[in-house]
A = this chain, B = another copy of it.
Amino acid sequence: MGDTTAFPGLLLWPALSPSTLVSGLGKSTLINSLFLTDLYKDRKVPNAEERISRTVAIIKHAIGIEEKGIKLRLTIIDTPGFGDAINNTESWRHVEDYIDQQFEQYFRDESGLNRRNIQDNRVHCCLYFISPFGHGLRPLDVDCMRALHEKVNIIPVLAKADSLTPAEVCRKKMKIREEIKQFGINIYQFPECDSDEDEDFKTQEQILKNSIPFAVIGSNVQVESKGRKFRGRVYPWGVVEVENPAHSDFLLLRNMLVRTHMQDLKDVTREIHYENYRAQCIQNMTRMVVLERKRSEADFPLPLAITDTEKERLIYEKDEEVCFTLLLHPVINLVIRAISTYLFICFFF
């Protein structure tokens, strides 16, 4: 499939996250903390006037990280402005289109002649930021996740969890999990453990499942306290340590993303989301070819009507076969006409 194995040691995991939802939830800060980078070095926060006029944008950041000696190249897709407007109806359309475009590009590339060095830009994971202040999911969250859940692995995170006490985090997580189920949102499912896995591994997987949505805290600031240096947030009442498991699920999320579940996220994208897209694409093409054939039939009606069901099924199967070929051809209309002619020939002989 011209996949990442073509780059030994350099994993392509290009699109980490169309990290959506209302701006100000600490998306870029979290990404900076996760990958020890600085997404917006010269960030200029737009003023209110600019925020009012702007729409949702898609911004790509390519970053390289090294994890236990393995170099990773990530692409972060940020969606500044999402949820900022007064009317947010269908504001996720940009993100949906972006995901589809990457699938489309991959489909073209893998249908081409030289498919050994395909650049995989498909979106493998979407960190969906949920506000810690909502009473559960908001209508925008429900609509957005439903619009994307068949296209990408959604991992919900509870943003800025340092504004919630442990009891509140626990209640919010339960409520959000319930609502995700209630609204039929298909978030990324951690793979089931094999029965012969060791107990430690099973426990770890169970902890991961129970942590959804991951309660996260990000920080761009290095704090020095009691002789230690760490990323943290200094409040008058105490210091939050981003990587302290008692303070947030940051480490759990990072390990999951960069170490334990990266391959599974890629596999699910390739085997489920991309295959769904591909099947849909082929179906649409088939429908188009059939329509074109019918139109041609209407222009040049056959002298003898063919009513045999078995024959029709065969013709439909032929359509499906040829439409895949269609996609490879640059002058699509010419091909459709040619195939229609070919089908006519089949009918007559």
CB distance from A52 to the nearest CB of B (A): 4
A87 to B87, CA, bound (A): 4
A246 to B23, CA, bound (A): 28
Partner of A163, one of B49, B139, B162: B162
Q: Is the CB of A165 within 8 A of B234?
A: yes
A123 contacts partner chain B, Cβ-Cβ < 8 Å: no
A214 to B23, CA, bound (A): 22
Contacts of A183 in B (CB 8 A): 48
Partner of A131, one of B24, B139, B234, B241: B24
Q: Which residue of chain B lies nearest to A246 when distances are taken between CB atoms in the complex?
A: B236
Q: Is the CB of A48 within 8 A of B137?
A: yes
Number of interface residues, chain A, beta carbon within 8 A: 49
Contacts of A239 in B (CB 8 A): 237-238
A82-141: which residues lie under 8 A (CB-CB) from chain B? 84-89, 131-140
Given contacts A52-B139, A86-B140, A238-B238, contact A133 B160 (CB under 8 A): yes
Copies of chain A in the complex:
2
Q: Is the interface of A mostly helix, strand, loop or mixed?
A: loop
CB distance from A13 to the nearest CB of B (A): 28
CB distance from A326 to the nearest CB of B (A): 38
CB distance from A139 to the nearest CB of B (A): 4
Instruction: Name 25 interchain pairs, CB-CB below 8 A, sorted by A.
Output: A23-B134, A23-B135, A24-B134, A25-B133, A46-B135, A47-B182, A48-B137, A48-B139, A48-B179, A48-B182, A48-B183, A85-B139, A86-B87, A86-B88, A162-B235, A162-B237, A163-B163, A166-B235, A166-B236, A235-B237, A235-B240, A236-B247, A237-B241, A237-B247, A238-B239
Other than the known A25-B133, A48-B179, A85-B139, what 15 A-B pairs have Cβ atoms closer than 8 Å?
A22-B133, A24-B135, A45-B135, A47-B179, A48-B136, A51-B135, A51-B136, A84-B139, A86-B139, A87-B88, A87-B89, A162-B163, A162-B237, A237-B239, A238-B239
